[in-house]
């Protein structure tokens, strides 16, 4: 079933406050989608380190994200496919793990501000920057 996979930078705009990017992120996330445990870990890291969230704030934020998204575990299959994606596309390895998770979740769109907008991977996953001018 095709769907949307979200990189951590999209839900992090919700935590950053009110802005047009936060509004756009909320609009996309409200439709549901898929994330991986890696995305949750990245959100936790940035929430604590950069945004100065307390553990209670972080727990509440992560619970909301988990409630809205289907979450898939990090697996050996994701790891192995990430290595293949790295060989073909030369992205940073953690980006490759996001791409691999999206592919294995059978998503057709990967929403990420940090990757190559418009790039199609394996002829079935399109990377889209949710904040690019429409």
Q: What 8-state DSSP symbol labels residue 119? A: -
> Domain range for residue 21?
4-128
pLDDT of residue 16: 81
- Domain count of the fold of the chain: 1
> In whole angstroms, what is the distance from residue 28 CA to residue 83 CA?
29
Residue 14 lies in a domain: yes
Residue 105 lies in a domain: yes
Which residue has 């890696």 as its token pair? 38
The answer to whether 66 touches 58, Cβ cutoff 8 Å, is no
pLDDT of residue 133: 63
pLDDT in tens, the chain (134 residues): 469 999 999 999 988 877 889 999 999 999 999 999 999 999 999 999 999 999 999 999 999 999 999 999 999 999 999 999 999 999 999 999 999 999 999 999 999 998 889 999 999 999 999 998 65
Whichever domain contains 49, its CATH number is 3.40.50.1010
Ranges of H-type helices in the chain: 9-16, 20-29, 37-49, 55-68, 76-89, 93-104
> In whole angstroms, what is the distance from residue 96 CA to residue 87 CA?
10
Residue 134 lies in a domain: no
Residue 78 lies in a domain: yes
């Amino acid at each position: 079933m095709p769907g949307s996979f979200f990189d951590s930078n999209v839900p992090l705009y919700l935590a950053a406050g009110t802005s047009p990017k936060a509004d756009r992120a909320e609009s996309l996330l409200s439709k549901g989608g898929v994330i991986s445990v890696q995305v949750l870990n990245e959100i936790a890291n940035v929430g604590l380190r950069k945004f100065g969230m307390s553990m209670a704030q972080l727990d509440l934020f992560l619970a909301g994200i988990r409630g809205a998204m289907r979450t898939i575990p990090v697996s050996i299959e994701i790891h192995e496919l990430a290595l293949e994606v790295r060989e073909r596309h030369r992205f940073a390895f953690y980006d490759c793990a996001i791409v691999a998770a999206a592919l294995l979740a059978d998503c057709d769109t990967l929403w990420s501000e940090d990757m190559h907008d418009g790039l199609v991977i394996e002829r079935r996953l399109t990377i889209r920057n949710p904040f690019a001018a429409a």
